[in-house]
Structures are given as structure tokens and as C-alpha cells.
Structure 1
Amino acid sequence: KRNLPLVRVIADSFRRHHPEVPFYVLLTDQPEGYFDPAAEPFIVLTLDDLDVGALWPACFTYPRQNMEYAATPSLLAHLLNLHARVVFIKQESLVVGDLGYAFEALKTNSVVLTPHLLSPPEDVERELNVLLAGTYNLGFLGLAAGDETSRFLAWWQERLIDHCVRDVARGTHFEQRWVDLAPGFFRDVFVARDPGANVGHWSFPERVVEVHGDRVTVDGAPARLMRFSGYDPDEPQKVSRYSRMTTADIGQAALVFDRYRELLMAAGYETARHWPYAFDRFDNGAPILECVRTMYTNLDDQARSFGNPFQTGRSNSFFRWLMALVDGQNGPFPVTRFWYGIYKERPDLRQAFPDALGADREA
């Protein structure tokens, strides 16, 4: 919900170009009284509205950003039960032109993808970075209802239940790099080579953005979607935390970044940024640390015996298991599974106290 201002901005910009198309938003959180979904000028869906099935435990195992990404296929499958064609746009975006090309392409294709790069850059490091993140940028995705699309979404969702993480050694980059496999696995995948289709920090400096009043062009063609992945309004001179470039390096595109920041502030960014994430804490208010998520994940099948991992009141809850003594010894220096889990996650502690449950227990 802290990203609500971003959603308001993208929704408003989308309506300016496609007022006839309904706009849906997936909230992978809980409103908790911070805002009224019914009062927003778009349709707010929650995980309860989707057939997420096995994805529910991911609310506990994944941090906020991973959960947002992991729920994408379930959202798209739900929308394709309602509409014949769907375009998905990530929240940190601004529609600056007509997206009709995608809807048109979906009349004869199942999937529309937009690549990070449209031509080889001079710096090979750029290509290497893209290979790590994924060939296609999933800030934009188009889908048409049909059996092939259903197979694609089912496969993608199955992979994201446990593997929506950034793990360079294993070749994953959240939900995105999986889709590198889609053109080989599935038919009728269209790759949009329009330079204005999906423009972000990865597009510079090759693609030249120009601003003509309210009109934006990219390499002389109409711009359609500007993306602000990794952009921080508190550091407006930086294009993205994923890039070394500053707005001084990107020409007139900096004007679009300035405008985007103004829109975020007007949409309530300063207030919403402090709103809590509902799935960051147990039902008793105790925070869920990253190491706790890791411990739960590592339990594999045993984790199912706890039921809802957020609930703390039951005698067999995960929280009570976490607070129990790791070895049953309740002497002068008890060690809970929680603290022992932190110990195992910290190489410095393991080196300083190699025998935590024995000779180093008192320390």
C-alpha cells in the first residue's frame, strides 16, 4: 500500500490515453485503514480475489517486493477470465502515449514482450548486465486469452512459488528472467521492437528522448511508456539505483523524470511512504525478520504443520516453535531457535563462537 501514489500516477496517465479500458490494481498487502480502496478511481483486487492457491505461503516466505512479483501470473490469469486482452504495467511507470499497438498485436499473438535492448550497445558490460536481469523487461507485458497463454501463466506461476528471488548463481532475477524461456516454450510470442514501447534506465544513452510540450518521442518515434525502475524521489538526480547515470546524462528525458516526481508528490508520496506492510509482522505485532523467513522456508514440509505462519496464539504455531529452546536445555543460558537461527545466518558470530551450544554458550 505504500506504493499507492505510484499506482495513482500510472492509472491517471493510462486513463488519459485509454479512458475506455478498465484499470485494475493488485494489492499484495492489506489496507488496514490507511486508504479506502472503494474511493480510488480504479478497481482494487486483493489476494483473496485471486485463485492463488499454493502462493499463499509466499506472503510469509517472500519480502514485499518479491511477493508483488510472484503474484503477477495469478493476477493476469484472473483478468483473462474477465477480458480477452490484457496489458500489464508495473507501478513505477508513466503512460505517455498510445498503447494500442499492443492490443492490436494481441489479436494474432498470445504474448507481447518488450526487450531491454534493441541493438548491441558499445559497452559489453551493458549486455552482461542485461543477461543477468533478463532479456525482456517485465514492466510491460501483453496477453491474449487462450490455451497457449493459460499454459504460459500456469508454468510461470509454478516457478515463482519458490523461485521468485534474485540468485545470480542459479540464474534467477525475481519473476523476470524466467520469461527469457517463453519464446522457446510457447507459440505466438511477439517481441515489440518499437523504441518507445518501454523506455527506462536500460534504454540510455542509445535511445534519445525528446520532449515537445506534452508529447514525448524516442528516436523520433512516439514514446508510449516511460519506466522509473529504481528511481528514488529523494535522490532526483539519480536515474536509478541500478545505474550510475544521473539526469544530467539523459538529455530531455530528465524533464520526464522531473514531471514524474511532481506527480508522485501530488499523489501523496510523502504520506504513503511511511505506511507499514501487513505481511511484515506476526499477528501479535512482532516483526518478521529476513532470517525468520529463511528459517521457515528451510523447514520445507514441516512448515505446513504450523498452519497459518502469521498466527501466534496456537500451541503449535510457528511463532511458538521459534521461541522454544533449540536443545531443550533451560539452564542459566537458554538459547531459542530464533536466536540460534540468527547465529547460523551470521558468519561473524559463527567464527567468534564456534560452539554456541557448548563451550561458547555463556558468551
Structure 2
Amino acid sequence: MTIAFTICSINYLAQARTLGESLAATNPDIKYFVGLVDRLEGVSFDESYRPAFPLVEIHAIGIEGFQEMCDRYNITELNTAVKPFYFTYFFEKYPEADKVIYFDPDIIVYQPLTHLLQTLDTHEAVVTPHVCTPIEDQKTPNELHHLNTGVFNLGFVAFKKTAQTEKYIKWWEEKLRYECLIALCDGLFVDQNWMNFLPLFIDNTYIERDPGYNAAYWNLHERQFSVDQNGIHYVNEDHPVVFFHYSGYDPAKPAILSKYQDRFELSERQDMQPLFDIYRNSLIRNGNEYYRRFPCCYIKPPKVLRYQRVRKFLKKRVEYLIEKIDTI
């Protein structure tokens, strides 16, 4: 049995529904879940916006110290920090599941995941690198950005259930419990930099370089897209697009390919327009504007979170200075 899951708060359920629809159409044998970093208690959805996929609320998976994580993290950090805990939950809750795949909610799966599942038959983990070839300019993102934010993109990762992967996931849990921060000066970018250790800690890790996997704004310099008469999307002429990652795309600003990059304008990349038309229409149909109105119940306003972080830093600084004075 194979499980695929995503993680989001209620405000991103349009993306999660779009991903789920694409998996149901292309991989009906894979069981799909939404890990919900939010609470449904007291929330009433209009009938047409009730998700058709199981929602696993974060409080139900039993993370020790979860409230402290909520106090520590913003919404992006919190949604990424719980990722390994969901892997543990699915492996334990569904012992028949020998393979578990994570996708970011802003992904569409376009093809059966046959090759990925075959790879997991012989490997314990699969990841995709941000880039496979050099970048010839200094625009954003380039290789320096990827050194800061991680060699691999954690919008996708897949594990086979083994003693070694379970041990790695437990290690990852403890790192993300406290150190899933957007703090580039400290060498941290949410969960991604920790994944640099995966091929070192698990020898049998497969690095998937097929350009049809995890195509996104960070690797468009090495990928060109086309669609044939049957509606099948290809990258670099002969590789089917397996899944496309629409990171940073806002359907309310359809001309902007991604808010996180300045290398390409969508108007200059007409090869990608069909892929983005599909995504924009899917998000609108699945209630993007509707779900955006729901604030995450676990997240404090940014000013309060900043105050807490500054207070924590000053407390540590005072403790350090007192310790230094005591040694004089």
C-alpha cells in the first residue's frame, strides 16, 4: 500500500484539493491524505467546499511539545516542521503502508507514479535536487541561493518503511522541533537544509534527476515544455511531466510565474502557459478565494511572534552576559 499526503492549513485547501484531484485521476490506487495544521472544530464549510479527501488534524497525531512549536514558528515554519511527524504517523497508523510520499499542496501530478514506486522497491528514499545543471546568470534563485536553502527541494520526498528510514525520520523530527526556522544567517531554511544529510545517513537514497519530476521555477533554465495532440505534457521533448510544482504562484496575479524568482516572465515562456492555465483554473474552481478567508488557529499575529523571538534572544543574551560576569 502506498500513501501520499500533503500538509496545509485551511487557507491552502484549494491547493490541497487540486493536488488530490490530480492524484485521483492519475494514481487511483494511492491513498491520499491532507495533514491539516489547523482545527476543524467550530468551522463550517459551504457544501461545495467540503474536501473529498481525509483531513488528519495535527492535534490528532500526538506531537509532544506541539504548543511550544506553535509559539516558536510562523505559519510556513510550522507547516514544514510537522512533516516528519506525519511520516511517522502514517507508517504507524497504517502498518500495511510500506511507501509514503509527501507532496507540497501547490503541486499537480500529471502522470502515474510508476517509476517512483519501482524506485522505492529498490531504494529507501527518493529526493529531487533543485537543479541538475549550472545557472549562467546571477538572477534569483541561483546556486548561492540553493546553498542557503538546501540542495534538495522538500516539496517532494518519498520513503520506504525500513528500520533505517524510521531512524532517520526520528532524527529529522528532533531537528525540526526546534530548528525549522527561516534564519539564513544561522544556516537554516525550514526543513530543507537538514535533508542535505539524507544521502549521507541513508546510503540507499535515490536522487531523481528526471526533468519531469518536480519541475518548478528554480529549474526552468534547464527545462522546456510542450504538449502533444493528446494533451500529454512533456519537458525537453521526450520526458513526460510527472509533476509540476507551482511554488509562489498566485491565481490573482496570473502574469507572475512565481513571486520567489526574477529570471523568467510567464509572457516570455509561452511553453509553460498551458500548464499554468490548468493550475489557475483548478485553484479558482476549488475555492482559492473562499479558503483564504480562514486564519490558521495556531498562529499568532506576526508582531506578537516577532516580540516573542526578540524576547527569547534578549533572555539568552542576558544569561550569557551573567555567566561571563561570574567568571571574572
**Shorter-chain TM-score above 0.5:** yes
**Within 2, Cα distance between the matches of 1:168 and 1:268?**
34
Partner residue of 1:234?
Answer: 252
Does the Cα contact within 8 Å between 1:166 and 1:174 map onto a contact in 2? yes
Q: Does 1:66 align with 2:77?
A: yes
Quick one: higher RCO (CA 8 Å, sep 6+), 1 or 2? 2
Partner residue of 1:15?
Answer: 24
Structure 1 position 75, deviation (Å): 0.4
SS in structure 2 at match of 1:23:
strand
Partner residue of 2:117?
Answer: 103
SS in structure 1 at match of 2:17:
helix
2:36 is aligned with what amino acid?
A: L
**Within 1, Cα distance between the matches of 2:113 and 2:69?**
32
**Within 1, Cα distance between the matches of 2:131 and 2:299?**
36
Q: Which runs of 5+ in 1 are unaligned?
A: 302-363
1:3-152 pair list within 5 angstroms: 3-31=12-40, 32-35=42-45, 39-81=50-92, 82=94, 83-123=97-137, 126-152=142-168
If you compute each CA radius of gyration, which structure gives the higher value, 1 or 2?
Answer: 1
1:1-363 pair list within 5 angstroms: 1-31=10-40, 32-35=42-45, 39-81=50-92, 82=94, 83-123=97-137, 126-212=142-228, 213-219=230-236, 220-244=238-262, 245-281=264-300, 289-294=304-309, 297-298=312-313
Q: Which runs of 5+ in 2 are unaligned?
A: 1-9, 317-328
Does the Cα contact within 8 Å between 1:95 and 1:224 map onto a contact in 2? yes
**Within 2, Cα distance between the matches of 1:173 and 1:204?**
22
Moved more, 70-79 or 231-240: 231-240
1:86 is aligned with what amino acid?
A: V
Does the Cα contact within 8 Å between 1:112 and 1:190 map onto a contact in 2? yes
Does the Cα contact within 8 Å between 1:34 and 1:275 map onto a contact in 2? no
**Within 2, Cα distance between the matches of 1:242 and 1:23?**
28
Structure 1 position 29, deviation (Å): 0.9
Structure 1 position 249, deviation (Å): 2.7
Structure 1 position 132, deviation (Å): 1.6
**Within 2, Cα distance between the matches of 1:51 and 1:109?**
29
Does the Cα contact within 8 Å between 1:62 and 1:293 map onto a contact in 2? no
Moved more, 40-49 or 157-166: 40-49
**Within 2, Cα distance between the matches of 1:217 and 1:175?**
30
2:288 is aligned with what amino acid?
A: Y
1:134 is aligned with what amino acid?
A: G
Question: 1:296–1:278: structure 2 CA closer, same or farther, 3 Å change rule?
Answer: farther
RMSD: 2.3
Partner residue of 1:326?
Answer: none
Does the Cα contact within 8 Å between 1:22 and 1:42 map onto a contact in 2? no
1:242 is aligned with what amino acid?
A: Y
Partner residue of 1:304?
Answer: none
2:265 is aligned with what amino acid?
A: T
2:295 is aligned with what amino acid?
A: P
Question: 1:69–1:101: structure 2 CA closer, same or farther, 3 Å change rule?
Answer: same
1:108 is aligned with what amino acid?
A: T
1:52 is aligned with what amino acid?
A: I
SS in structure 1 at match of 2:278:
helix
Does the Cα contact within 8 Å between 1:204 and 1:250 map onto a contact in 2? no
Moved more, 291-300 or 90-99: 291-300
